[in-house]
Amino acid sequence: MKEKFIKIDNENYIKEAEVIEGGFLDHGFQNYVVRIEIIGKAGKSSVIRSTIEFEVEDASKASSVSTSGLAAIAEAVIKYMKEQRSAEPEQAPKQTSDEETIQRPK
């Protein structure tokens, strides 16, 4: 199966890939596009929105489309991000100018 990225929006965290050879196209689909979008929420949380768009003449084949693969990828991303956050050292709050200690020569 070959895919081609048709949209890469790094500013809004959106990626779209279209199957251009093999995969679902070999099973009667005329078009098959996967879209992944990461939406930032309050604090350090995000939502991963996955969408599959497709065209197929035989409606019975539509039931073979599943987002379970995308869900597995999302779970792997979540696990990775949690591991990265737990590995980050705790940062001490920065001192403001009134809290700075002035050392004078003796």
* Residues belonging to the active site: 15
| In contact, 42 and 31? CB cutoff 8 Å | no
State the alpha helices, DSSP H only, in the chain. Answer: 68-87
In one-letter notation, the amino acid at residue 82 is K
Q: What is the DSSP letter of 28?
A: T
| In contact, 64 and 27? CB cutoff 8 Å | yes
Q: How far apart are CA 52 and CA 63, in angstroms?
A: 12
